[in-house]
A = this chain, B = another copy of it.
Amino acid sequence: MPFIPHTSQDVSSMLASIGVAEIDALFDEIPAHLKSGSLTALGAGLNEMQVARLMRDRAAQDTPLLNFIGAGAYEHHIPAAVWELATRGEFYSAYTPYQAEASQGTLQVLYEYQTMMASLTGMDVSNASLYDGASGLAEAMLMAVRAHKTSRRILVPATVSPFYRSTARSIVKLQDIELVEIPYDRATGTVDMAALAQHAGTDFAALVIPQPNFFGALEDVDALTNWAHANGGLAIALVNPLSLALLKPAGLWGDNPHPNPLPGGEGTNAALRAPVGADIAVGDGQPLGAPLSSGGSYFGFMCCKQALVRQMPGRIIGRTVDLDGKQGFTLTLQAREQHIRRAKATSNICSNQGLMVTAATIFMSLLGQDGLRRVAAASHQNSQRLAALASGIAGVSVLFNTPTFHETVLQLPKPVAEVLANMANAGILGGYDLSADYPELGNALLVCATETKTEEDLQQFVASLQAAIA
């Protein structure tokens, strides 16, 4: 029996100890007419050799092409040590670290992770992960509403990923939270400040500020943060964690002291109330060591100002001491969580994305501050070079005149779907077609070139694009 070690002798002596004649007797409390028949749709079990063959055949049906799609999931080099270590049985097959003494490995990793993420984002604290960036954004919205107390409206620029906007909407709408779309400037591909200004004085809980935004463009985060704070809302930073190796951390955005006293309770004190910065920073940790994997597993991260820590959803690890005064780590602030607070919890989240976070922690440790910066800069440079090469093709131009991180929008002379299909035939995934989400942009293609791309790859992209539009 696969994975079941019982011999028939074991079974008899166990049944005798229980005092029943057969295993089926153990199910005698289930109404007989409810018992299942055979699971006809399932075939016979395969042994590992057979399933290995099946999966290798299936994997062979997935055809990896040279990839220039980003749009929220980024191809980066992942050091081999990351997954060789993260899949060690002691990390891989452990549960949530409820028994701290027997889980110091996982707990210390998470504490290190919290330190790294708080520092990357420039925030005071971090939780131990959420499901992904998009659902994390929803959690940030709910948190902002809890913190703000009086408003249930969130301003969301159209430059936020459409995937994130739709996910957040699915989640927050059930609590009657309204998402108000802020349009973008057609020249810059960033938030239209004039349109935003029209919301001054209205009641809103938070403004979401994406950096870089879905077009890869860099927003004027200082102005946006200041605007949110000046108008009585929180600033929710939505950031790519890799970009933060280069970009101003969310905790330092803007320069206006926060206007309305933040809630927070016991832990709040004046010294902790930084005068600047976004209040919450969220995003997807995928660039930190998660393979693309058709979309998951990735992980959501969330950091915030100290004053908001008790409003945060998810697990939080704290450092403390043991009976002998020795340093140790443990789950803390559990009173926020569903298993204690139940209906009054900050969220229903229970399991998070622990193993992805372990991988991310190892990833960041292997890269170090300098390595992460170099990867970010190389990605930036590659996408700049790609844009320059592509706009050398007649009929192709760069759509927005704005600094970008590692993604950019190209305007094509032909419908994008058709161009992409041609490029795919040549072995290239040419980018993400913006025409469904942003029809007003016409034939707009979002392209991304990370540090994984060589000059030859870029040339291959350009040649195939040229051929595809010819």
Contact = CB atoms under 8 A, between A and B. Distances in A.
A86 B48 CA distance: 18
A50 B25 CA distance: 61
Interface in A11-70: 48-49, 52-53
Contacts of A49: 77, 451-452
**Most chain B Cβ neighbours within 10 Å, of A49, A79, A454:** A49
A84 B87 CA distance: 9
A77 B46 CA distance: 13
A89 B454 CA distance: 32
Contacts of A84: 87
A48 B87 contact: no
A80 interface: yes
A26 to B, nearest CB: 28
Nearest to A56: B64
Given A84-B87, A87-B84, A79 B451 contact: no
Contacts of A88: 88
Nearest to A92: B84
Given A49-B452, A84-B87, 5 more contacts: A48-B79, A49-B77, A53-B452, A53-B454, A88-B88
A49 to B, nearest CB: 4
Contacts of A452: 49, 53
A454 B88 CA distance: 33
12 contacts: A48-B77, A48-B79, A48-B80, A49-B77, A49-B451, A49-B452, A52-B77, A52-B80, A53-B452, A53-B454, A84-B87, A88-B88
Contacts of A451: 49
Nearest to A84: B87
A5 to B, nearest CB: 11
A355 B49 CA distance: 23
Contacts of A53: 452, 454
Contacts of A454: 53
Interface in A434-466: 451-452, 454
Nearest to A77: B49
A87 B53 CA distance: 22
Q: Closest 5 A-B residue pairs measured CB to CB?
A: A49-B77, A48-B79, A49-B452, A88-B88, A48-B77
Nearest to A375: B49
Nearest to A85: B89
A88 B77 CA distance: 22
A192 to B, nearest CB: 39
Interface in A52-110: 52-53, 77, 79-80, 84, 87-88
Contacts of A79: 48
A417 B52 CA distance: 32
A322 B84 CA distance: 35
A106 B84 CA distance: 20
Contacts of A87: 84
A77 to B, nearest CB: 4
A372 B84 CA distance: 29
Contacts of A52: 77, 80
A177 to B, nearest CB: 42
Interface string A249-277: 00000000000000000000000000000
A228 B267 CA distance: 88
A103 to B, nearest CB: 20
A109 B143 CA distance: 53
A205 to B, nearest CB: 42
A452 B88 CA distance: 28
A149 to B, nearest CB: 48
A452 to B, nearest CB: 6
A203 to B, nearest CB: 49
